[in-house]
Structure 1
Amino acid sequence: MTSKSDNPPPYEDALHHPKYGNYPHQPQHGSPLPPPPSYSPSPGMYPGPPGYWGQEGVYPQAGTWAAPGFSSPSGRPTTIPTLSAGVPPSNQGEMEDFLSTQWESTSIRHAFIRKVYLILTAQLAVTFSVVAVFTFVDPVRLFVIRYPGIYWASIVVYFIVYCILVCCKEPRRRFPWNLVLLGIFTLALSYMSGTISSYYETKAVFLAMGITALVCIAVTIFCFQTKVDFTSCGGLLCIASVVLMIIGIVTAIVLSFQYVPWLHMLYAAIGAIVYTLFLVYNTQLLIGNRELAISPEEYVYGALSLYIDIVHIFLFILQVSGSATE
């Protein structure tokens, strides 16, 4: 409890009678009031709690922080905090260059993928059109069955053009010879696929086309979504291809003496699985965010690899479906 005499005097009494207590002298009526005490922080003081005028350490050291539009009293450069994920302001130019480079590489890779799939779509359209003609048009179907020499000639053209395209992957600047060779390769493989399809029923061909389309769509979605890197499994795929070749030779020798349906279907199923793994491998090489990647300039090679995988998947599934329907 405090007595009434201990309370401070009224404001009017304090103005007219400065004798009260230890209160500071106040000017008389009519004179301007003095300005509030100025803030003069002591250099080197650690910032204290805000809200106290005239105390030391209320604000940081002069020259360290400054609001926009105000200069530092000490003349030293102002330090402004940034939110650049740990990158100092002096490296902002390097960060912008890095981000622009990443954006350019991503856009180049996306344009490369679109170009590859555009070429691949044209190749598949030609191939399945030839397969449809060889399957539905009876005169053409009987012609390719009666003259198998054209089929063997297409196999020779297939291997020769494939070796040229693999060995000469760099694009030609003056004339697109690689695209011309790719067109010849597509026609050769399309004739081979149409000739093989002419030996099977229409139901088996349609079933193989549908299954191949589903497999390709599923593999493409899987490769674009998964974080598993299949580009590091090239050795395993090489071993799988060698095993498939050995099984194919054994199957051909056995089937030349006596036809065994289950052996033929087993070989075709293994071949479809192996080429599906090759499709996963080549698709991830095309995407480019894995350990290995195809150069954006090798769009012909990228389309060639995917095209071969898809056509071989179709041919192996056709053998399975053809044996099942028979």
Structure 2
Amino acid sequence: MTSALANYATEADPKQGFYGTPGYPQGQPGYPQGQPGYPQGQPGYPQGQPGYPQGQPGYPKEQGGYPGYPSGPEPGYPAPSQPGYPGGPPQYSSGFGQPPVVPPPYSHIPSANISQPAMYGGTSYPEDPLDEHVENFDFSDKSIRRAFIRKVYAILMCQLLITLSFVTLFTFHDATRTYIRRNTAIWWVAFGVMIVTLIAMSCCTSVRRKSPMNFIFLFIFTLAESFLLGAVASSYQGDAVMMAVGLTAAVCFGLTLFAFQTKWDFTAMGGILLVCAIILLIFGIVAIIFPGKTITLVYASLGALLFSIYLVYDTQLMLGGKHKYSISPEEYIFAALNLYLDIVNIFIYILTIIGASRN
């Protein structure tokens, strides 16, 4: 029994174990000694051989930007055989004609934060349609408009002080009153100067915008108008003149507050007011031809009402904002001139009403 097993062991394959199962070779463990998992000096990828052959990049070097796709072969011809990516991008081999053309790249990409010039100086920024509280330009516009309103009222106050001085002098100074009544030629000279300067400032943009020419013309106009108004007031009694001054101040102050606070937009009534002014002018000519107390009172009342509406209209033009029309901030002389003429006409019509009521 023992000898039989010994003979079987000597005759069996030394590389096989008992019962025909493979065994480990003698002198060779699970991993060969001195030989690691990867041979020494030979990394996973052969040295000097990258994934793409050297000297042959994926796209030719001489084509910058977006390289155009090579045109495909003619329909009906078999596609040429090509290896992986040895010499460039793959060729289109379908029979559907030319591949779609790739559009050229954008040369300029607009930025969302590019500043844009704004009106009257400053910088405005593009508004976000989803943002309901864009206040950059709105704040600048409000500040400009407030400065414009302050300048207009400052000029207007100076004009009214000059006019009030002339009216007071011609009304209460007897020598001046007598001189004006005897020398009517001065009245016509003042009337001519007033008409010329008024037309120049109304029709010539450079005259009313260019400083200091605009202030010079406005000052000459104010002197001429004040002289004419003083000459008219000199034919009335002093208390009647002072009553007219007080009523005019109260009416204008109330109308100005109304123009500031009301939601009604009077700036769209320019055409209607112009037609009413023409009708009033024709009615005034009729009142001169057919004088009388009643027709004078009616004429003066309509005139005071019309120029009261004109005062609200011109005030809202100056305010701007949500109104349909507005005056440019560069037109401060024109705005002051309009308000001044409205107040002067209201004063004349109120004085006419007081004088007609007293005979």
TM-score, normalised to structure 2, is 0.62
Given residue 136 of structure 1, which amino acid in structure 2 is its aligned partner?
A: F
Who is 2:294 aligned against? 262
Q: What corresponds to 1:108 in structure 2?
A: 144
- 1:170, 1:94 → 2: CA distance? 42
CA distance in 1, matches of 2:210, 2:281: 39
Q: What secondary structure is seen at the aligned counterpart in 2 of 1:164? A: helix
CA distance in 2, matches of 1:165, 1:173: 9
What is residue 160 of structure 2 aligned with on the other side?
A: 124
1:323 corresponds in structure 2 to 356
Q: 2:182 aligns with which of 122, 146, 160?
A: 146
Q: Is the 8 A contact 1:169 1:301 kept in 2?
A: no
- How far 1:153 sits from its partner (Å)? 1.4
AA paired with 2:297? M
8 Å CA contact retained: 2:209, 2:331:
no
Deviation at 1:130, TM superposition (A): 0.4
The answer on whether the counterparts of 2:127 and 2:134 sit within 8 Å (CA) in structure 1 is no
Deviation at 1:313, TM superposition (A): 0.6
User: Cα distance, 1:171 vs. partner?
Assistant: 6.5
Summarize deviations over 1:160-192 as a string: whole Å, max 9, x none: 100100112347787410110000000010001
Structure 2 partner of 1:183 = 219
Indicate which of 267, 273, 290 corresponds to 1:237.
273
Q: 1:300 to 1:250 in 2, by over 3 A?
A: same
Would the aligned equivalents of 1:166 and 1:301 in 2 still touch at CA under 8 Å?
A: yes
Does residue 342 of structure 2 align to residue 304 of structure 1? no
Which position in structure 2 is the counterpart of 1:56?
A: none
CA RMSD of aligned residues (A): 2.1
Deviation at 1:98, TM superposition (A): 3.7
Q: Report the structure, 1 or 2, having the larger helix content.
A: 1
Give the conservation status (yes or no) of the 8 Å contact 1:279–1:310. Answer: yes
- Secondary structure of 1:105's partner? helix
Q: In the alignment, is the contact (CA less than 8 A) between 2:209 and 2:330 conserved in 1?
A: no
Q: 1:173 to 1:138 in 2, by over 3 A?
A: closer
Task: Quickly say closer, same or farther: Cα 1:101–1:275, change in 2 above 3 A.
Answer: same
8 Å CA contact 1:171–1:297 kept in 2: the answer is: no
The runs of 5 or more residues in structure 2 that have no matched partner are: 1-125
Q: 1:158 aligns to what? A: 194
C-alpha spacing 1:140/1:263, structure 2 compared with 1 (3 Å): same
CA separation in 2, counterparts of 1:95 and 1:103? 16
Letter of the 2:197 counterpart: V
Percent identical pairs in the alignment equals 42
Aligned mates of 1:148, 1:91 — CA distance in 2? 63
Distance in structure 2 (CA, Å) of the matches to 1:308 and 1:99: 36
User: Of 156, 169, 173, which aligns to 1:133?
Assistant: 169
* Aligned match of 1:11: none
Q: Tell me the matched-pair count.
A: 233
Residue 265 of structure 1 and its aligned partner are, at CA, apart by 1.5
Give 1:212-251 correspondences, 5 Å limit. Answer: 212-251=248-287
Instruction: Please tell me whether the aligned partners of residues 208 and 334 of structure 2 are also in contact (alpha carbons under 8 angstroms).
Output: no
Counterpart-to-counterpart distance in 2, 1:146 and 1:109: 47
Shift of 1:100: 1.4
Residue 64 of structure 2 corresponds to none
Report the TM-score when normalising by structure 1.
0.68
Partner of 1:211: 247
In 1, Cα distance between equivalents of 2:209 and 2:329: 15
Q: Is the 8 A contact 2:208 2:333 kept in 1?
A: no
* Stretches of structure 1 lacking an aligned partner (at least 5 in a row): 1-89
CA contact (8 A) 1:204 1:321 kept: yes
Contact 1:154 1:188 in 2 (8 A): yes
